[in-house]
Structure 1
Amino acid sequence: MDALWHLAEPDVWAAAGQSGSYTGSTKGRSLTEEGFVHCSFADQLPKVAAAIYAGTPELVLLQIDPGLLGASPVRVEPVPGTSEKFPHVYGPVPTAAITAVSRVQVDDAGQLIDRP
């Protein structure tokens, strides 16, 4: 399976550094609340940024290696309101499975932009 991508809120990502696992799910929601961590494949990332995070000045983009998730299964599932299937991680994401981290923002038009 290809790499998974996840846009994280900076404070939730910071907490993962302390605990050793990431438990955010989507904007303002946790793994406990949603039941899984929302992810996307690379080609889906711009749509997710535009639909959910437009106008968000500070985010962290996580690249996840699905082969390093351990006991947390990945299911590629349909999402209501779209014809696409998105990857969902059913469990915490070990920080060791996160292979790249970058600071990004999503402008008001929904464009994903790297931050210095």
Structure 2
Amino acid sequence: MHRILHEGYQPDEELLALLGIEQEWLTRWPHELSGGELQRFCVARALGPNTRFLIADEMTTMLDAITQAQIWHAVTEIAKKRKMGIIVVTHEKKLMQRLCHRIIDFNE
């Protein structure tokens, strides 16, 4: 996983810690990680230093509630720090209400 992360860029220790990526995971192959662990790596790769907008299309849908909350907390903290925009695409109204400043509901 260490090599896979480095293909995009070298993430700093703060980002890895904020996303809950443990150092021992870096030596594993993707098939040796859980879905939540892999999702954290995907988010880390998406949050490269040049990312100005993140399109999060059902980014945490298949994860348990605790992992979802951890990832969204990390992403929103990074977005605030970097003044980065996020477009959230989700079917979960509570998530939208918690994260978004403006909501467009195409079902209404």
TM-score category, normalised to shorter length: under 0.3
TM-score (norm 2): 0.25
Q: Which has the higher strand share?
A: 1
TM-score (norm 1): 0.24
Q: Which has the higher helix share?
A: 2
**Greater Rg over alpha carbons, structure:** 2
- Higher relative CO (Cα under 8 Å, sequence separation at least 6) belongs to 1
